[in-house]
Amino acid sequence: MNNLTAADLTVIFNAVLFVILLAAAILLIRRIRQRRTALNQPANSTQVAFPFPQRQVDRERQMLPTQPVEELDKEIRVAYRDWLSIYLLPDAEPGRAFLRTGVARNWMRYQVTATSFSQALAMLVSVLVAGEDPQAQAQFDRILAFCLSHSSANAPDLMSWQVMPDVVPSRRLDSDLNAEPWIAFALLAAQAQWGRSERFQYEILARRRLEALLPLYQQAAQTEPQALVYSPTFYQLFAHVTAEQAWKAIEDSLAAQGRAQWSGTHAIFNADNSPEEAKLGLSILQLGIAELEQAGKPTGKLTGEVEKRVRESVAQLAQAELLDESALHIEPEGFSSLSLLACCTPAVLCLNDQALVDQQWQALTLAKPGRHDPIGATLRLLSLMQLSGNIWFDKVMWNELPPSPKG
């Protein structure tokens, strides 16, 4: 027993080392599983500044649909439940989730895709349902984590305009300069709603994102302004929270183009799912938001020509056959009819026409979003919240978000 050979000692040492390594591996796996569970099921948020329903609407300023407010909120709850179960997916990595946008070919296979714009919309939905859904902030954080994990090729603090979540590593593409302001806006909305979370400091992330976005946006405004969607409300808010007057200069330089984007002879939607038409839809959405935030003080952005286009577009798009996408199996390249109709909602509210408001509400509630139109379903949900007076951004964000210390 006392005459152990060197070979025997080596075997014993290897056996002990194997046991130690096996125990360490088991402990590491257990900790990884615990971390995954913690990330996928974070603590519920108790600090909610504006829980749903949060009707911050001035009845002299905005008409509501004629139904009782309880019925309006019921429609939103149903739409949110369907949206959550159909379009929002967990990522392969723990603590992440994304709004699927469509499919695209990757080599010999088709893969699910997600765009930066759709993630921004999903984050805004999460902000607005806080209080109704106790997991709203955790959901926001999971979508945000997904955005942060897919950096763009032209700026690491921005997101690739499109990613394939199931393809690892995902190809890095340039950022979408018309989507990034929406992501920054969603972060500022989250700051107003929750302040911060256990995982993220929304204000810091918003400022960092805006710092990365500004030079790219300035360059595009000079070299290809026609590619940008004029977003005056965003520019004013970004200038307010960052004390960066360059955002105000961008607003001034693009103002004429913004008015022209919706005054041409081709401004009526054709529902042809083209990217150009999607840009047109976002243009009227931004013009309507800007006018709606002026609290009854017209800005002149919704001219008589634009008002005519809005009424014609709603009349054209609010047709049952166009809004029944339940059997749609074609991935739209641009915006569906439902998306375009939803983009008209803020402008509709600015016109103070009760019949038009009721027509818009009825068309959106009767619409049947297809499984292949997540953006349409999300814009529809946000429009229902807007029509029912449950979007509070314009009433509180300027007060909740103090100016930058540089100001």
How does pLDDT run across 119-177, given as a tens digit for each residue? 999 999 999 999 999 999 999 999 999 999 999 999 999 999 999 998 888 789 999 99
Cβ atoms of 271 and 317 within 8 Å: the answer is yes
pLDDT tens profile 168-215: 887 899 999 999 999 999 999 999 999 999 999 999 999 999 999 999
Residue 407 pLDDT? 45
Residue 200 pLDDT? 97
> Which is higher by pLDDT, 234 or 396?
234
Q: Same domain for 182 and 299?
A: no
Answer with the one of 206, 233, 265 that is the final residue of a domain.
Answer: 206
Q: Round to whole Å and give the CA distance between 374 and 100.
A: 7
Q: Same domain for 288 and 375?
A: yes
* 406 domain residue, yes or no: no
Q: Same domain for 266 and 171?
A: no
Assign residue 195 a region: left if phi > 0, alpha if psi is -120 to 50, beta otherwise? left
* 180 domain residue, yes or no: yes
Q: Same domain for 172 and 237?
A: no
Q: Same domain for 288 and 156?
A: no
Q: Same domain for 270 and 193?
A: no
Q: Side chain identity at 80, as an amino acid letter?
A: Y
Q: Same domain for 273 and 312?
A: yes
Residue 304 pLDDT? 74
Mean pLDDT of 372-390: 95
Place of tokens 């945000």: 144
Q: Same domain for 232 and 172?
A: no
* 256 domain residue, yes or no: yes
H or E element in which residue 304 lies? helix 304-317
CA distances from 222 to 225, 255, 299, 364 (A): 6, 13, 25, 38
* 295 domain residue, yes or no: yes
Q: Same domain for 150 and 241?
A: no
Q: How many domains does the chain have?
A: 2
> Which is higher by pLDDT, 44 or 14?
14
pLDDT tens profile 268-291: 676 667 788 888 889 889 988 988
pLDDT at 337 over 80: yes
* 198 domain residue, yes or no: yes
Q: Same domain for 286 and 379?
A: yes
Q: Same domain for 200 and 230?
A: no
Residue 277 pLDDT? 84
Residue 174 pLDDT? 96
Q: Round to whole Å and give the CA distance between 117 and 123.
A: 10
Q: Round to whole Å and give the CA distance between 18 and 152.
A: 43
Mean pLDDT of 236-245: 92
Cis peptide before 53 (omega within 30 of 0): yes
Q: Same domain for 273 and 355?
A: yes
Q: Which residues pair with 102 in a beta bridge?
A: 113
Residue 96: give the domain boundaries. Answer: 87-206
CA distances from 307 to 278, 303, 356 (A): 19, 6, 12
